[in-house]
Structure 1
Amino acid sequence: MDFRQEGNDWACHRNTDSDREHTLGVWTHTQRYKRRRGELNPAKIKLMDDAVPGWRTGRTRGRHTGGDR
């Protein structure tokens, strides 16, 4: 995930600095939501675990560390 490799924290789905962060944050938020509800394909979970370690947890709830807020 280029966004993380660029030194950014996990993308937020609300109150973002850029459209890029918002789009990525919404997508990641949706994947986490689907996984919690058992709606995400196990093969996709495995691919994401391998490609983006830590995606399941992300940032601590409510803590946004990017930008000037």
Structure 2
Amino acid sequence: MIYRRLPAFLVATVDKFAALPWVGPSGVLLGGANRYDHDGFYGPAELGRGKRLSQPLAPPDLII
């Protein structure tokens, strides 16, 4: 569920953060969301869900 609601602030250890690109649904956290519905946002890893956005969501501006 955290991947669909796109939090404004995320705290993670380095190993968990480094694993994000390898977990399909987590791609939306890094700017890959291109569809949405009442449950949240979806990226390329979750085909056939939600309505298309006019353009994909931008990635985060800052990662510390």
Task: Compare CA radii of gyration and give the structure with the larger one.
Answer: 1
Shorter-chain TM range is 0.3 to 0.5
Which structure: greater strand fraction? 2
Q: Please, what TM-score do these two structures have when normalized by structure 1? A: 0.31
Give the structure with the larger helix fraction. 1
Instruction: Compute the TM-score of the two structures, normalised by the length of structure 2.
Output: 0.32
